Amino acid sequence: MVPGQQTARAPGDTGGETIERAYRPVLGGVRHLSDHETAPGNGTVVDLLCGMNHVVGSRRAAKRIYDCSACDEVRGERGGQA
């Protein structure tokens, strides 16, 4: 395993996938990536890798349906790092 990575199993995943530690908000069923390692405080505006902004709230996390392809593309351009 690469330092700074962990194996995570989200509900609904068919197997473990190796992901970097990052705040990964789900918006409308789409899981995005950010440069934050943990969830910032409520009310904080977070820039997502795809260019969207997200205001951190106190609502329960939405269910992930699929990953944002634009965030994944930026992560790939960075050599696999969020």
pLDDT in tens, 16-25: 444 557 899 9
Q: How many structural domains compose the chain? A: 1
Question: Tell me: the pLDDT tens digits for 24-73?
Answer: 999 989 999 999 988 899 999 999 999 999 999 877 778 889 999 999 99
| 6 located within any domain | no
| 11 located within any domain | no
| 8 located within any domain | no
Report the C-alpha gap between 65 and 52 in whole angstroms.
Answer: 18
Domain that holds residue 71: 21-77
Specify the pLDDT at position 20.
59
| 12 located within any domain | no
| 66 located within any domain | yes
Residue 8 has pLDDT above 50, yes or no: no
Task: Please give, one letter per residue, the 3-state secondary structure of 14-78.
Answer: CCCEEEECCCCCEECCEECCECCCCCCCCCCEEEECCCCEEECCCCCCCCCCEECHHHHHHHHHC
| 14 located within any domain | no
| 4 located within any domain | no
| 16 located within any domain | no
Separate counts of helices (H) and strands (E) for the chain: 1, 7
Specify the pLDDT at position 34.
94
Report the C-alpha gap between 27 and 24 in whole angstroms.
Answer: 10
